[in-house]
Structure 1
Amino acid sequence: MLTIRLARTGAKKRPFFHITVADSRKPRDGRFIERVGYFNPISKGKEVRIEINQDRIDYWLSQGANISDRVLTLIKESNETPEEKEKRRGKKEKRRLRKLAKRQKQKLG
């Protein structure tokens, strides 16, 4: 069974992931069939965070490949418009502030 998943590369404490099509029985970082993109979780500034070849992913899905949950999330994230990204960040910020206020309230009594 084929799987579209992440393969970790990069140095210690500096992760970098290739999005690969591989046999599900092979090790995570082992032999793969094709690289269809990459994900840099620690990108800064104008560095590209996610690069995905959507045509090749569609091809492999049509061939019966499964896709990992994390790669599916990355695909959705890469297809977002800047407005959608800002809206999502705003929701996360509100949620974070609510949790912080709740913790402070519990500490005070």
Structure 2
Amino acid sequence: MSVKIRLHLAGTKKRPFYRIVVADSRARRDGRFIQEVGYYNPITKPADIKLNEDQIFDWLLKGAQPSDTVRSFLSDAGLLTRLHQAKIDTKKNK
């Protein structure tokens, strides 16, 4: 089973609001998900993004793959650098 971290549309027509969720890659975009780990509101200026960094970091360590948009959010938050450093540290300790 492949797990993705991706956006889940929760808004209405012309008023988008997205939840950032962990979901099975075979599930529909707005279908069933495993866990909600944040949200993204593009309507506000500047855009409102909330990430539960601890939960996202745990899922990334377990092998979850972020979508392109979520990857850019994680990169801006510094989570991908933290993940890379954690993987290097575990290799050094072996």
TM-score by length of 1: 0.66
Aligned length: 77
1:25 is paired with a residue of what secondary structure?
coil
More helix by share: 1
- 1:78 deviation in Å? 4.0
Deviations 1:42-67 (A, max 9, x none): 1147xx70000111111001111111
Deviations 1:12-68 (A, max 9, x none): 1000000000000000000000000000001147xx700001111110011111111
| CA RMSD, Structure 1 to Structure 2 (Å) | 1.5
Greater C-alpha radius of gyration: 1
Decide whether the 8 Å contact of 1:17 with 1:40 is kept in 2: yes
> Take 2:8 and 2:17, find their aligned partners in 1: how far apart are those partners?
8
TM-score by length of 2: 0.75
2:26 is paired with a residue of what secondary structure?
coil
1:58 maps to 57
> Take 1:78 and 1:49, find their aligned partners in 2: how far apart are those partners?
13
**Structure 2 unaligned spans of 5+:** 79-94
